[in-house]
Structure 1
Amino acid sequence: MNEKCEFPQLSSLQLKDGDVILRRGNSIFSELIARNFPASEGMSHCGFIFKIDGQYQVIHTISKSLSDIDGIRINTLEKFVLDAKQNRICIIRYHKKLNSDSMKERCLALLKQKIPFDNDFDLNDSSKLYCSELLRYVYQEQGEPDFFEMRKIVGVSVIDFSTFFNTELFIPVYKNY
């Protein structure tokens, strides 16, 4: 992986608080997600980008089965990208301007609450959240309609990653895949 070549491109972008970053992970779980969502352009994980203390950070959530911390966490943008399989990342921006300060405050509050990862993928229970469920939850708290596409997998309705590639909802900012 050549992060020295990759990161100058990212740091030169005009990132905005509330941008969404998508990546392809290295785990078998990421592979299963990518295979079950063929219109997801191979992406399997997502989070919000916010500038915090002068540095771009990503707030996202991961299962303890894949990490030493369960649930919501914060990583530098660089760390988030380094954990991508073969630098496969995409940054997108929601088509409408939202209150990014409010979104950041809410994500930081969820981080402080140590919201666990939703291994049941239950969209009706916000006490636990999986990665795209976190984004859906924050968008809905901003008053946005539930615009996420759903897909049933083994009888459970989950958020379809193809939603992030709907150009009526999200504008591409950066693609590397």
Structure 2
Amino acid sequence: GKTWRSKIVNLFEDGNTAFSHTGIVRIIGDIPHIIHASPESELVRMERAETFLSPKKVDRASIYRLRGNPGAAETASRKALEYYEERVPFDTAFDGEDHERLYCTELIWRAYTHAGIDLAEGLWYSLYNPVLSGRLLLPNSLPRSPLLEETAILR
């Protein structure tokens, strides 16, 4: 991404993926939308994929799909839609134990966990510093999940 928040997230990244944000696709009326937890709106939000992936906002993006389980992907997408409809607030503390608020990668993880899939097993970071402390799931963690496959790269 191109925001200052994206640059900060990338400081924690391993340099190979350098993703700073995540979302989950939900098709509504044949139009792809992305549901994501946004610090800008302070809520889980939904926007058309063309807006979410606008070159004004992103440098590059990848699309990942759950391997061999479309039913679980649909359940996760439906759960993400519920988070949007319930106006779940953004988790500014990035606290994976807080069930009342969500940050972007946590939204994906919780939605898939609801579908019986743990995308983040063994992929959590442990951080202990003045800014963040505890378990954190960063955007570069999810592409390393063996349960996902990359289906498209957008540059």
Aligned counterparts, 1:1-177, within 5 A? 25-39=1-15, 41-63=17-39, 67=40, 69-82=41-54, 83-86=56-59, 88-99=60-71, 100-145=73-118, 146-147=120-121, 149-153=123-127, 154=129, 155-166=133-144, 168-177=146-155
Q: Structure 1 length as normaliser, TM-score?
A: 0.75
- Compute the displacement of 1:143 (Å): 1.1
The letter for the 2-side match of 1:150 is W
What stretches of structure 2 of length at least 5 have no aligned partner? none
Q: Displacement, 1:111?
A: 0.9
Q: Distance in 1 between matches of 2:99 and 2:145?
A: 27
Change (3 A) 1:59 1:105: same
Q: Sequence identity, in percent?
A: 20
Question: Shift of the alpha carbon at 1:167?
Answer: 6.1
- Which AA in structure 2 matches 1:78? E
Distance 2:32 2:50 in 1: 8
Quick one: which amino acid aligns to residue 164 of structure 1? L
| 1:152 to 1:39, Cα distance in 2 relative to 1, 3 A | farther
Give 2:134's aligned amino acid. Answer: V
Take 2:76 and 2:122, find their aligned partners in 1: how far apart are those partners? 18
SS for the counterpart of 1:161 is coil
Aligned Cα root-mean-square deviation (Å)? 1.9
TM-score (norm 2): 0.85
Segment of structure 1 superposing worse, 131-140 or 142-151: 142-151
> What are the ranges of 5 or more consecutive residues in structure 1 without an aligned counterpart?
1-24
